[in-house]
Structure 1
C-alpha cells in the first residue's frame, strides 16, 4: 500500500503487539491522527498480519448512521466472516440495550480467542454509537486474560463526547497510544517515486509538498496527475505538465468536506479566496454577517481539521485543499468574492501587493483593470519599483498582455530603467509568440526618451522595438534593429541581449519564409542562453527553436526540445509550450494527444494571449472529426477573443474559413480568409507554420469561384518552396495546391511523392485521397480505387474521419474501418516501430536511442499502443505483435 510508505515503525509496533497477544499479553492499541493520515491503511496492515499469524479477525468501521441503532458498530465487527461463529445465534433474542448482551459477548469472545487468538479492530471509532462505546469500555478489561487484541482508530480532534471520552479512559488505563503524523519531505519524495515510477522533478515535489504530507491527498493528487497525462518522463525523471488540479483530486476534496454542514462549507468557500491566514472578522465582512453567526461554522471546520488556529486568525491546514475549493467555485461567485475582497482591503488600507493580487483575479479587463490597479497602488504614496515589477509579472502570468502594456504606460517613469527594459523584453517575447500587436514600438520609443537610460539598457530597448516592428509586419526593419542592438549588447558584455536579439531575427526570418535562417538564429539563441546568458528564467528561446524545428519537419527534435523546457518559467510560456506540443501532434495525426495538450491550457475570455489559437486548433480537430457543433463552439469563442483588436491571428482566420466551408457557406468562408489572401504575397507566415493551409485556402477560393485568390495562394506556397527546397511538407503542399488549381493529377501524384518523407500524416493522407480521386474522376480507372481506399485507411489510423469542406468526402467501407481499428492495424507507423523493438526485448531507453527519439516519446507511443491493443504488459504486447505482424506486411 502506497500510504504505508514511511510507516515501517508503526507497522512493526502493531506486529509486535499481535505477537504479544498470542503469548497471552493484554493488548489494546488506539491509533490517532487527522483525516487521511493513513489510520485505515495501518488497520488493514494489522488485519493482514493477524491472518498470517493464524488469528481470527473481526473488523468494523463506524459511520454516522451507526448512532441511530445501539451497538451497531460492535455487532457489525463481530459478525465479520473472518471470525465465523463468534456471534451466538440466540443473540438476536436479547435486548441490545441490556448489559446482559455485553456479558454474553464477553463470554463468546473469551471462548473464541482461546482457540486461535482474535483481533477486534474498530475503524473511525469516534463516530460509533454510545452503547458500542460503553460495551468497548467494559469488554477491553474483561477480555484481558484472553488472547484478544483490540485495535481502535479515531480522528484526533478537539471535540469531546461520550465516545471520545471512553477512548480517553482506555488510554488512561494502559491502552497503548499510536499517533500518526504527516509525511516529512523525504517520505513525500519516496512516495512520489513509488506512485509515478520515476524520480520526481522539483516541480512535482513542490506541488506534492502543498498537501502538507497528508498521505490520502498526496495519493489522490499523484494518481490524478498520472492518469490525466499531466506527468511525462524525461531522461528518467517524472516531469509536470501545465494544467489545473486533477478532477479526481477536486472530487476527493469534495468528498472529504461532504460531512460538513452547509454553514461550515460556506465558510470554507468564502475563506478560499485568501492565500494567507485570515481573521473571522474578514469572513464576517465578506458574508455581511455578525461575527457571532460564524461561531458554529468555525468550530466545525476546526474540529474537522480543515482549518487551523493561527495566532488570532485561521489558516487552511493544506493550502492545496484551499486551492481545490477555490477552483470548484462557480466563476461568477469567484469573481464576485475577489471584487468584494478588493473593496474590503482598500477600505482597510492593506498592503498594495495583496490588493493587486485580488484585482488580477477579479475578472476586470482593459481600462477597468488598469484603473483598479492604480486605485490599489496610488493612494497618495509612490509605489515601490519592486511592487510594479511584481504586478507586471502577475499580469503576464495570466495573459493580460494589453493590460500589461497599459499599466506600464501609466507607470513608465516609476520603474527603474534596467528593470523596465527587462519587463518590456518579457512583454515583447510574450506578445510576439502570441502574434498580438500592442503598440510596443510606441511605448518603448517613449521609454527611450528618459534621461536615465544607459547604453546597455538602450540596446535592450531597441530589441523591444524590433519586436514591436515584427508585430506590425515590418520584418526588414525589425531584423536591422535587432542586429544593431545585439552588437551594442555584445560590446557592453551583455549576452542576454544577444539571446533576445537573435530570437527577434529568427522570428523575422520565419515570417519572411527563410526557414534555414530562422532555425540557425533560434539554435544560436538557445546556445547562448544555456552557456553565456544569465537571468533568462523569463525568456524561453527554446520555444522558438521548437517552432522552427516543426516548420522544418523535424518533429522528433522539436519534441525533445519541448520536453527539455524548464517548467519553472512564466505561465505564458508554459501555455505556449503546450500549444506547440498540440500543433506538433495535430500535424502528425495524433488527434487524441493533441486534444489532451490543449485541454490543460486554462482559457478565460478576458485573457487573449495563448488562448485564441488553442481554441482555434481545438475547433480544427473537431472539424476533422466532423463534430460541427464542437467546432462552432471553439471557433466562435476564438473569434470573439480577437474581434475588434489588432490581433494578428491567421491561425484563427483560416480555421474560421474552414468552419464556414464545412457549413457549406463558400462566400462566408472566402470572406473570413480575405485578409490572409491579401497579405500572403508579403507575409506567408500562416503557410510556414501550417503548409496544409495552402491546400485548404486554395480549395476554399475555388469553391467560392474566386480563382484569383487561389492563384495568390499557389504563388505564395510556390515561392516558399523555392526558398526551402528541403522541407518535404512545403514541397508537398505546393504540388497539392497546384494540382487543385489546375485539376492536374500529375501534380497531385507529385504531392504524394513529396509528402513521402514528411511527418505530417494528415496532409499526406489528404494528398493521397485527392490524387486517387482525380485519377478516378478523370480516367474512371478501377485501379484508382485501391489507392483511394488506402488513403481512407490512413485517415482511420490517424483518427481522421472527415476533411473540412469536403461535401463529397466518402464514407469508409466497413472493411476499411475494421482494418484500421483492429490489432496492429490501429497503430501508427511510429507506434509500430516502437512496438517492434520492444518485442525484441529492448528497454524504453534503448528504443529511444535506436530510433533517435526522446524517452518521453517512446513512453507515449507505448502507452498509446497498450490502450489500442488492449494489453497491460510488455509480455502481452510482444505476443500480440508476434502473432499479428504477418497480417500487416505493409506496416511491419
Structure 2
C-alpha cells in the first residue's frame, strides 16, 4: 500500500503498518479485529482516519461511525451511522426498518443484522470502523460480537478505537471473538518529542521557533495538546512572544473524555479563546458544556430563553473559534477535552442549577424521563423523591429497547432512597423486575436475597406481600433456567392470590403436587391456574401423552400476563414439541422457524433445541446441524450451557447418519443412547437391546424403539399418543414377518412427515420381501429407501441398504454416491459443498453462488464454512489454490 496523501501521521508508522498488514490479510480472505486503545488526546482517531484513507485507495467498502456519550439511551445508535452512511450503505432503508422492529429482541436483531451485512459484503473487501467504542450502547456492543463471529469467512477488517477500560466494551469484544478471528491489540502511548516537533513543522509549514519548541516539550507526548498549542488554544504559562491566539491550522482531532485531571494550561487556553467571543456566544458554549458532548441548539436556546434565530450568530462564533462543530442533526464539541475545559470554568453551583433546569425543561418539552435522567442524576441527593420518581419512569421508558441501561438507572433510583424508607422496598421490586428483563438473573437473585434478608440494603419491614411479590418476579425465569427451588416458594401471610401462585409453582417442581385437572375450574386466580396447567402439561409430556399435554399448554398460554406468569414463549416451545408428536410436525416446524426470528430471545436456547430437533425429525439434516451449532454458540454467548446435551444429541445423530463415527463420539460424551448407537455401528448386535432404555425426551425416540423391536414400549406410546407415526411404528414391529401387515404399516408410515422413519419402515419391509416374498417388490422398496436416504445425506443407512441390494445381485451405475464418506479432505465434502467450493474457486460471491444453486446466500455461507473446515483452509484464496491444484490438467496433456 502506498503512502497517504494526507498530512503525515507522525510517530505512528509502526501502528499504521500493523493496520495495513491487517487490511492486506482481509483482502486475502483472512478477517480480523483490530482494537486501538489509548488515553484521550493520543491520536486514536487520526490513526483510524489514516487507515480509512488507505483502505479507500485500495477499493475497500468503508463503514464508519463514532459513538457518543448519550448513545446508551438509544438502541444501536452507535453502530447505526456505519450501517446507513456512505455511498454504499451496509443496510438499505427497508432492511433497516425491519431491524428497528426487533429492538426488543437483541439476539434476533443481531442475527438478522449479520445476515443483511453478510449479503452486502459478499465478494467485497470491507473496513468497518467504530471510534470511541467505550461509549457504545449495549445493543451495538452485543451486535458487534455476533456479527464478527458470524462473518468470519468474509474479507473484512473490524477496527475499533477505545480508551483503556478493563472489562469494557472493547475487552468484551476481544474475549467474545478471539476464537473466531485474529485480534490485533494496538496500544497508543505518548508520542516522542521528535514526532511532536514534526507535527508542529507540518502545521506551520516551516521551522518551529524556540519558544514554541519549549512549550511543545510540556505537552507530554499528546498530539491533541500539541495541536491546541499550535492553534493558540493551549497556553501553558505563556512566555513573551507566544501568540495569545492564532488561526487554527488543520482539523482538530476527536477523542473520548479525559480520565484524570485536565492538562495544565488547557482551561486557561480555552478561557482566552472565549474572551474574543460575544457574551451570548460565551453563554451558549458554557450552557452547551453542561448539556453534554452533543446537544440540540433548540434545547440550549430554550434554556437561555432566547429564540433559536438569535443564537445563530453566537453559534457561528463558537464554530469559528474551533470549540463547536455542526454535525447536522446536532451540535457537539470539537473534542471532549475542550468541553471538559469549558465546563471547568463553570462554577459547581451553576452546573447543578443548570442540570436541574435542563432536566425540568426536557421533561416539560415531552422529551421523556430517559433523556432527562443524566441531568437528574447530576443533581439528585439522597431522599429526593422527585428524582426517584423520574428515574423510575426513565427505567420503564428504556426497558423495552435498552434494558441494560434501564437496569443501571433503576439501581441509581434505589440508591437515592434511604435504607429505612418504605419507598425503598417498592423501588427494590422494580430493580428485581428490570434486572430480570435485562437477562441479569444472577444479579437479580443476589439483590433479591439481600433485600429480603434484612441486610444493610434495606432496614424496613419485610412484609409477606413484599416477599411473595419478589419471589413471583423471580420464579418464571428460575423455571425457564432450571433454577426454581422449593424453599423460595413460601410467603406465609401473603395475599391469597399471591399465595395461590406460589403454591402453583411448587406443582411445577413436583408432579405429586399437581391438583387433579377437574379441580382447576375452582381455582380463583387465573395466573395460578395457568401455572398448574403448565405443570400438568409438563407431566403429560414426560409420560408421552402428547395430545393431552398440547391442550394444556394451549390453555395455559391463553391466560393474560400478570405477576408470576410463565413466559409464553417457553410454553409454546412445549406445545410445539407436542404438536410435532401428534401428526403436526410441519406446522410445528414452520412455527418454530417464525419464533427463531420473532420470539422471546431470552428463551433462545429452548427455541434453538426445539428447532434443531424438528428440522432433524423432518429430515433436514443440514438445517438441523446449522441450528444446533448456532444454538451452542448462543449458549456460550450467554454462559448457559444447560441445554447443550440436547444439541450434542442432534449433532451426534446427524454424524451417525453420515457415517462419521469419530464426530459422533466427540458429541456423544457420556450420552448412553448415542454410545449404544455407536456400539451397534461397530458391530455389537447385543447393544440393540439397550435401545429399549432410550429416555422419553431423546430426539426421534420412536425410530430407536423400532430398531430395538420394543413392541411393548411402542404399544404404550401408541396408546398414550395415538399418532399416525406411533400407530404405524407399533404395527411395523408387531407385524413380525407378516408381509401383508408389514406392507400396511409401511404404507401408513409413508403418510407421515418423517422421512427417516419412512425409510426405516421401507428398509424393514423391503428386506422382508426380498428374503421371503416378492423380490421385485423388495428391490423396489429398498431402492425407494435408498433414494430417500441419499437425498437426505444419510450415507450411513444408505450404504447399508446398498450393500443388501448388491448382495442380492442388483447392479446400478451410481453405487459410489452412497459409499461412506471420509471425515476430512475433498472426499469428505457433500455434493452441495463441492459445488459451492467449485463456484467460489471460479470467483463467485456467496450471493452469485446462491443464485446459481437456487439457495440462500446464508446457506452458501454455511456450506463454505464447512468446506473451509474439512479442507483445512481459512480463505477463498487458499480454497481456489487447492481446487486449481486438484483439477489442474496433467503435464503435457
TM-score normalised to structure 1 length: 0.46
Give TM-score, length-normalised by structure 2.
0.46
